Amino acid sequence: MKVEQVENYIINPVLDACAQIEPRMRSNSIKQLLLGTMAQESAFGLYSRQVGGGPALGPFQIEPATEKWLREDYLARKPKLKNIASLLLHDAPRDDEYYNVQLETNWRYGAFMARIRYWVVPDPLPDQLEGWAEYWDKHYNANPNHGFPEDFIKAYNKYVMNMS
């Protein structure tokens, strides 16, 4: 999928919906951070399951436990944002396996959950590539043995900049 398609059909609609609730949820920085996250985590959607057999799913490689925490704990206290998730899921609450399939196949839901994952971080978003890479590593990756800011930068350049 081309960068413009991901932006126009996945990320922008999600950020637009979020901005209806809270305007600060939409910015160029978060859009670029989400594009970079997708590039780093799944080679821009090439992998829907974590390489090596880990639990992460979908283009944003969100772990089911993280999705469940965001959905059941954070979004439960934010009904307007939770409504966006319901719309993306066609208002169909289900069991954990249903949500796992959604993470893997519903790219808008994955983008929304990735946005929410970054939203719960109190640190301000940086506004340039090196900062996004550090932010991703600290707040999304958080694995000291796998994935580094320089990997994020390489993936961003390969999948976002070269596919534009």
pLDDT tens, position by position, 61-74: 999 999 999 999 99
Q: Which residue did the predictor score with more confidence, 130 or 91?
A: 130
Distance between CA atoms of 13 and 19, rounded to whole angstroms?
10
The pair of structure tokens assigned to 113 is 């959950």
Who contacts 18 (Cβ-Cβ below 8 Å, separation ≥6)?
A: 25, 26, 81, 84, 112, 115, 119
* 3-class DSSP assignment, residue 62: strand
Residue spans per domain, the chain: 3-52+63-161
Distance between CA atoms of 50 and 65, rounded to whole angstroms?
14
Q: What is the pTM of this model?
A: 0.93
pLDDT of 91 reads: 60
pLDDT tens, position by position, 67-126: 999 999 999 999 999 999 988 887 666 788 889 999 999 999 999 999 999 999 999 999
pLDDT tens, position by position, 14-46: 999 999 999 999 999 999 999 999 999 999 988
Of 4-13, 85-94, 136-145, minimum mean pLDDT range: 85-94
Distance between CA atoms of 93 and 91, rounded to whole angstroms?
6
Asked if 135 contacts 34 with a C-beta cutoff of 8 angstroms, the reply is no
Distance between CA atoms of 60 and 78, rounded to whole angstroms?
22
Categorize the per-residue pLDDT at 164 as very low, low, confident or very high, splitting at 50, 70 and 90.
low
